[in-house]
Amino acid sequence: MPGFSRPPLAFACVVFFLGSTAVLGDGGLMITLLNDSSVSLLVTAYDQGIQPAQPLVSDREIYGNASMTVSIAAGRQGRGHLSWTAVTADRDMRKCGQDDNPHLNDGDTVNVHADEDCHR
């Protein structure tokens, strides 16, 4: 290829990967939210390691037995804190769930589910 030089290409790749820490979480902890039920859930999750707590996802649908990954802040001890609520996507058979998960490590999986009656 005319005009193609490997050193500038290699430099560009290094700059891209070093500059992409914000995209990759910027030192945050990658946590997997796993819908451990067979029904679709609407999930809301908060990063409790930031004050005030910051929403990560709001009413995000996660299909049955599917997952999604979020990035949360690491505290002084290098661990994260996440809380979540979930409600079944099917309004005719409404169930709810919630939990608080402190002391999370990078790569941890948090199971989300909605198997309790909803309080109105």
CA distance 95 to 84: 14
Residue 14 lies in a domain: no
CATH classification of the domain holding 67: 2.60.40
Domain count, the chain: 1
Would you say residue 112 has pLDDT above 50?
yes
Parent domain of 89: 26-112
pLDDT tier for residue 91 given thresholds of 50, 70 and 90:
confident
Residue 82 lies in a domain: yes
pTM of the model: 0.76
Residue 17 lies in a domain: no
Tokens of 114: 């909605």
Instruction: Check residues 1 and 95 and name the one with the higher pLDDT.
Output: 95
Would you say residue 11 has pLDDT above 80?
no
Residue 20 lies in a domain: no
Q: What is the pLDDT of residues 12-53, one digit of tens each?
A: 444 444 433 333 445 699 999 999 999 999 999 999 999 999
